[in-house]
Copies of this chain bind each other. A is one copy, B any other.
Amino acid sequence: MSWRKDQGRAERGYHHGNLKEALLQAALDLISKKGPAGFTFADAARMAGVSPAAPYRHFRDRDELIASIAQRGFEQFESLLTQAWDDGRPDTVTAFERVGKAYLAFAREEPAFYSAMFESGLPVDSNPTLMAASERAFAIIRAAAERLAALAPPGMPRPPAMMMALHIWSMSHGVASLFGRGDAARRKLPMSPEDLLEAEVLIYLRGLGFPTERRPGAAPTDEKPSGDRSGPWGKAK
């Protein structure tokens, strides 16, 4: 936070000094308030205290600004997922669930990033660096799926990790985009999005033959659980 000029209204000369950052920040504010459609290039400029033409020195057009935000979003997303996955500690299933929760937390706490990344209608394949960032984020989920697949019970055919990763991603995105954000598209739920997704993933993993009873402790040993008889939907009302 060592900006040379305080953001916005502070007296500043002809040159802003940090316009690109200020515009990205303003856009994030605006998008989180009014969605990516409601966000306006001119508004961001106004919020940064510059003329409507100034942003064009830093972004080819409005779409490029949104793409920049999506790019940063994927980077933060990747970092968050990496941290949640924590290389599968303390055990694979626990870490996997933590990734699911992190996914929802990101969608809820960074709605502007999430919208820019998944709901802005930008053609993903038009921007190679954007697609690369997106794939790096997905790679975390895929790596986690790989580890999970590796310890599939020997009796069953091993599921393809890529498919598992896509399944998990679609569940997470489905829950996040239908029920995840408080403001828009609110629909009544009998349980929290987090619990809904957790149950969904646990049932899915059980369908693949994984033991999904409550994990006993922190140790990666997959033992029989104690007397906790609650299934994956223990928290449903």
Residues of A within 8 A of B (CB): 35-38, 118-119, 121-125, 134, 156-157, 159-160, 162-163, 166-167, 169-175, 177-179, 183-187, 189-191, 196-197, 199-200, 202-208, 212, 231-233, 236
Contacts and interface: CB of A to CB of B under 8 A. Distances in A.
B37 A184 contact: no
Contacts of A166: 179, 189-190, 196
A177 B185 CA distance: 15
Contact of A124 (B134, B172, B186, B189): B186
B184 A121 contact: yes
A169 to B, nearest CB: 7
A124 B187 CA distance: 8
Given A170-B178, A174-B172, A178-B170, A199 B119 contact: no
Nearest to A173: B174
9 contacts: A118-B185, A123-B183, A123-B185, A159-B233, A160-B190, A173-B178, A202-B207, A203-B208, A207-B207
A184 B119 contact: no
B207 A37 contact: no
B119 A167 contact: no
Which 3 pairs across A and B sit closest by C-beta, in order of nearness? A174-B174, A207-B207, A170-B174
Nearest to A197: B170
A196 B167 contact: yes
Contacts of A177: 118, 173-174, 177
A220 to B, nearest CB: 22
